[in-house]
Homo-oligomer: A and B are copies of this chain.
Amino acid sequence: MKKKLLMSLFGVVFAFPLLAQTWIWYPGDYELWLGNKMNNRRTERGAFFPPFWKMDSHYVLVEFSKKVDLQQPEEIEIWAEGQYNVKLDGKLQFGSPKKIMLTAGKHSLNIKVHNQLTPPSIFVKGNTIHSDSSWKVTFEDKEWIDESGKASDTSTTIYMDAGCWNFDMPEQLPSHYKLALKKQEAVKIKTTTASIATKSSSLVSNVYSMKDIGELFDFGKETFGYVTLQGLEGIGNINIYYGESPEEAQDTAYCETLDKLQLTGSAVINLATGISSPLKGNYTVSNSKAFRYIYITKDKSVKVDKVSMLYEYMPEEYRGSFRCNDQEINHIWDVAAYTMHLTTREFFIDGIKRDRWVWSGDAIQSYLMNYYLFFDKEEVKRTIWLLRGKDPVTSHINTIMDYTFFWFLSVYDYYMYTGDKHFVKQLYPRMQSMMDYVLQRTNKDGMVEGLAGDWVFVDWADGYMDKKGELSFEQVLFCKSLETMSLCAALVNDTNEESKYFALASALREKLQPAFWNTKKQALVHNRVNGKQSEAITRYANMFSVFFDYMTPQQKQAVKHSVLLNDSVMKITTPYMRFYELEALCAMGEQKAVMDEMKAYWGGMLCEGATSFWEKYNPTDKGKQHLAMYGRPYGKSLCHAWGASPIYLLGKYYLGVSPVKEGYKEFSIKPVLGGLRWMEGDVPTPNGKIHVYMNNHCIKVKADEGSGYLYIVSKRKPTASIGEIEKIAKNTYRLWIDTRDELIVKY
């Protein structure tokens, strides 16, 4: 095992690996490859169901290199995934050597690996030589533009810093990576008849007919994994129907996922894939599924002793927490955290039943929730790499215009929460080419409109939403994306591009209000077609303009009433856009109203029996209406990442913790009870956490790293156990925190 040196510094525990070698690859390549596996696991009633966007792949031939200067002679060991060669000081070595002896002094090492199936990667271990992200790697792309314009005879190869994750042992082959498994049992079993409630089910031809009498297993709550049929034997057919609800599991003709197995006596054949496995007692299905219920029907000649499952999950530490006096809110936080955990797989996916794909608009919310729950930055990076794919860009991310913009925004968010500038640097060329794609598709006013191939999504809505012309929502996101590009260009010291993007952002920003603000309605209108403002008001652009600060304080207050709290404006029925709607209200200090909304909306799902939060929830729906979506009776996902937003809202706007400078070098703590009597919780930071407790007369804060202001709203001047309290406005005070000790403020 790898030895670690544990070091306590200012009360914070840092882990410094002593032997840092790890498997390395071309940055982003492993992520794309693993993502393709993830995105290709969706099935729909037994059919393979891959995404409908371009799937990029790893570079099949890459070269790793490292320059070393050795005090002592040293032998290194080499492991590789792929066919490889080794050059030592430019000399090609015989074969694919497993060990090489290096003399003392300076050396250059080059290892070239070819692998079509899985990403070329290496693991190198010596006394002082270790494969890690300080190694360089190239796919043999050559220098593209000589900035001096000077002719050159020499070939120039572009090298990137190698990518890695946590495969720190030679036998931990990156291509063999699997999530963790844990056995779970059903909590209830009942023998029942399949509901043939759906009228047209008789039209669906099954591969073979079978009496629809079977057993319903309830695993107690939404879960995910591989069903195991214990003691399976006999000759005949057995079918497994999965359901997030009992209705779905028992509707054999319309449930979204299923397994059809045929037993030959000695083998089990999966009828969907045609794959045959030897039958020897226990049989575990090969493709994971999301479910709470399974309904099993079988021929009498087939026998099963017991049904269990292997729960599959990403091991995560719950670094964030939240508790308060309101048990319903605590329950909401717990179910939201579980929803997040279920959808935090190799990547942040949308839902575990469907689509099981990585979607950019969904992912940016998972990232934000993650910063307040797991703070798993590797998972964020992997998801960002995967969503972007490779050049050339042939469509928007996930084909959705708004999802391209959310992708840009997510990069700067990541930098702010983690302080990881290196990642921005690695990604920056792909940010540029993505933005080039967007800029090549703007209209004469420099605005974006849906062109052929673009999906202008915005949100699922229960009413009509016009997608024609220039949508204010898309321009607001585009503007923020240009600002993000300018900030990221500055981070990588690309001064020219920083100015270019800044100018583009400013130009667009100046056009937003003339184009969309309607003084009479005191709101941004939904869109402009052929230069003409429409009459429609929707919430989207208005709420984003609030927390992007694209409005004056007066406009924000106006919009609060004319749009956000105005019931005549089309209501949002997805937790996806509720996330931003409630964020906008919180940003305007409406934590009390938002607390009521959380209890009504997420509490409403809990009242409907939710054990994880849903893709969409319309409180006016009844019974099975809650299960339907996309014209399918069980089309709706009942465990959807974007359902988990209370995690984010409670951490950022109640505990009130957010980074002011990158990686929490400076933080801001603005705790707001929002109607609670007391609350407490942790917000993770890169190397620790910030703990906040608050009740009606006292705030306690303990921060493991960073400094920053604690803001207190109080009618009288508060007192602090450490530090000086300053008044900054009427009833508003602040206190600079620069200690690792617990700080107590009475107010």
Residues of A within 8 A of B (CB): 33, 36, 40, 44-55, 57, 59-61, 83-86, 92-96, 98, 112, 114, 116-117, 139-146, 149-158, 207, 260, 271-274, 391-392, 394-396, 399, 433, 440-441, 443, 449-456, 467-469
Once the chains bind, are A441 and B391 in contact (CB under 8 Å)? no
Across the interface, which residues of B come within 8 angstroms of A53, CB to CB?
Answer: 140, 142
Residues of B close to A141: CB separation below 8 A: 54, 394-395
Q: How far apart are A690's CB and chain B's nearest CB, in angstroms?
A: 43
- CB-CB under 8 A from A271, the residues of chain B are 94-95
The reply to whether B94 and A468 form a contact with Cβ atoms under 8 Å apart is no
Cβ-defined contact, B451 with A95, below 8 A: no
Contacts of A49 in B (CB 8 A): 85, 92
B residues less than 8 Å from A449 (CB atoms): 151
Those 8 A-B pairs whose CB atoms lie nearest each other, nearest first: A142-B453, A95-B272, A142-B395, A141-B394, A143-B453, A143-B452, A146-B452, A55-B61
User: A450 is contacted by which of B45, B144, B153, B443 (Cβ under 8 Å)?
Assistant: B153
Q: Using Cβ atoms and an 8 Å threshold, which residues of chain B touch A98?
A: 274
CA–CA, A253 and B567, complex, Å: 86
Decide if A48 touches B453 in the complex (CB within 8 Å): no
Q: Are A145 and B94 in contact (CB under 8 A)?
A: no
Contacts of A48 in B (CB 8 A): 83-85, 96, 112, 114
* 14 chain-A/chain-B pairs, Cβ below 8 angstroms: A33-B116, A40-B61, A40-B114, A49-B92, A51-B140, A55-B59, A55-B60, A96-B273, A140-B395, A150-B451, A152-B453, A154-B452, A155-B453, A158-B394
Query: CB-CB < 8 A to A150: which residues of B?
Result: 451-452
- Rounded to whole angstroms, the CA-CA distance of A272 and B93 in the bound complex is 10
A95 and B273 contact, Cβ closer than 8 Å, known pairs A40-B83, A116-B36, A450-B153: yes
Residues of chain B within 8 A of A443, CB atoms compared: 149
Determine the distance from Cα of A54 to Cα of B53 in the docked complex, in whole angstroms.
24
- Within the complex, what minimum Cβ distance (angstroms) separates A354 from chain B? 13
Q: Which residue of B lies closest to A392 (CB)?
A: B391
Partner of A454, one of B92, B140, B152, B469: B152
Residue from the list B36, B95, B274 in contact with A60, Cβ < 8 A: B36
Q: How far is the CB of A168 from chain B (nearest CB, A)?
A: 24
Of residues A40, A114, A142, A394, which shows the largest number of chain B Cβ atoms within 10 Å of its Cβ?
Answer: A142
Question: Inside 8 A of A158's CB, which chain B residues have their CB?
Answer: 394
A299 to B517, CA, bound (A): 90
> What is the total number of copies of this protein in its complex?
2
- Tell whether A85 pairs with B47 under 8 Å between CB atoms, given A144-B453, A451-B146, A467-B153: yes
Q: Which of B46, B144, B433, B441 contacts A94 (CB 8 A)?
A: B46
> Beyond the given A40-B61, A116-B117, could you list 9 further A-B residue pairs with CB under 8 A, ordered by the A residue number?
A47-B92, A47-B95, A55-B114, A57-B59, A57-B60, A95-B272, A153-B450, A153-B456, A158-B394
Once the chains are docked, how many angstroms separate the CA of A114 from the CA of B54? 12
Interface of A is mostly: loop
Collect the chain B residues with CB atoms within 8 Å of residue A391's CB. Answer: 391-392
Closest Cβ of chain B to A440, distance in Å, is 8
In angstroms, how far is the closest chain B Cβ from the Cβ of A221?
A: 29
Minimum CB distance partner of A97 in chain B:
B47
Q: Given that A153-B456, A394-B141 are contacting pairs, would A47 and B94 also be in contact in the complex, using a CB cutoff of 8 Å?
A: yes
Task: Please name all residues of chain B whose beta carbon is closer than 8 Å to the beta carbon of A273 when the two chains form the complex.
Answer: 83, 95-96
Task: Provide the residues of chain B in CB contact with A155, threshold 8 Å.
Answer: 399, 453-455
- Residue numbers in B under 8 Å from A85 (CB-CB): 47-50
Kindly list chain B residues whose C-beta atoms are within 8 Å of the C-beta of A153: 450, 456, 467-468
| Residue of A85, A274, A440 ringed by the most chain B CB atoms within 10 A | A85
Docked complex Cα distance between A154 and B392 (Å): 22
Q: Which residues of B contact A274 (CB under 8 A)?
A: 95-96, 98
> What is the distance, in angstroms, from A87's C-beta to the closest C-beta of chain B?
9
How far apart sit A92 and B716, CA to CA, in the bound complex (Å)?
Answer: 67
Say whether A450 contacts B151, CB under 8 Å.
yes
User: How far, in Å, is A33 (CB) from chain B's closest CB?
Assistant: 8
Q: How far, in angstroms, from A59 to B54 measured CA to CA in the complex?
A: 8
Residues on B with beta carbons closer than 8 Å to the beta carbon of A40: 61, 83, 114
Give the residue name and chain of the B residue nearest to A468 (CB).
B151
Shortest CB–CB separation between residue A45 and chain B, in angstroms?
A: 6
In the complex, the chain B residue whose C-beta lies closest to that of A157 is B453
CA distance A128 to B480 in the complex (A): 55
Q: Kindly provide the distance from the CB of A442 to the nearest chain B CB, expressed in whole angstroms.
A: 11
B146 touches A116 (CB 8 A): no
A355: min CB distance to chain B, Å: 14
Shortest A226–chain B CB gap in Å is 18
Query: B142 near A394 (CB under 8 angstroms)?
Result: yes
CB of A571 to closest CB in B, whole Å: 23
CA distance A155 to B396 in the complex (A): 11
Contacts of A450 in B (CB 8 A): 151-153
Residue of B nearest to A39 (CB): B61
* Chain B residues, CB < 8 A from A46: 94-95
Q: How distant is the Cα of A40 from the Cα of B398 in the complex, in angstroms?
A: 34
- The CA of A363 and the CA of B86, in the complex, are separated in Å by 29
Q: How far is the CA of A678 from the CA of B143 in the complex (A)?
A: 55
Cβ-defined partner of A144 (8 Å) among B50, B394, B467: B394
A441 to B144, CA, bound (A): 9
Q: Is the CB of A116 within 8 A of B57?
A: yes
Of B140, B151, B454, B468, the residue contacting A55 (CB under 8 A) is B140
Least Cβ–Cβ distance between A435 and chain B, in angstroms: 15
Q: Are B469 and A151 in contact (CB under 8 A)?
A: yes
Chain B residues, CB < 8 A from A140: 51-55, 395
Contacts of A116 in B (CB 8 A): 33, 36, 57, 116-117
Q: Output the least CB separation between A167 and chain B (Å).
A: 19
Q: Cα distance A114–B37 when bound, in Å?
A: 10
Known interface pairs A52-B140, A114-B50, A395-B141; A272-B94 also in contact (CB < 8 Å): yes
> What is the distance, in angstroms, from A169's C-beta to the closest C-beta of chain B?
21
Q: How far is the CA of A395 from the CA of B440 in the complex (A)?
A: 23
Inter-chain CA distance A48–B111, complex, in Å, is 11
By beta carbon, the residue of chain B nearest A440 is B145
Please, which residue of chain B has its CB at the minimum distance from the CB of A455? B155
Residues of B within 8 A of A36 (CB): 60-61, 114, 116
Pick the residue among B47, B59, B117, B149 that contacts A93 (CB under 8 A).
B47
Once bound together, how far apart are the Cα atoms of A51 and B456, in whole Å? 43
Residues of B within 8 A of A156 (CB): 452-453
Chain B, Cβ-Cβ closest to A470: B151
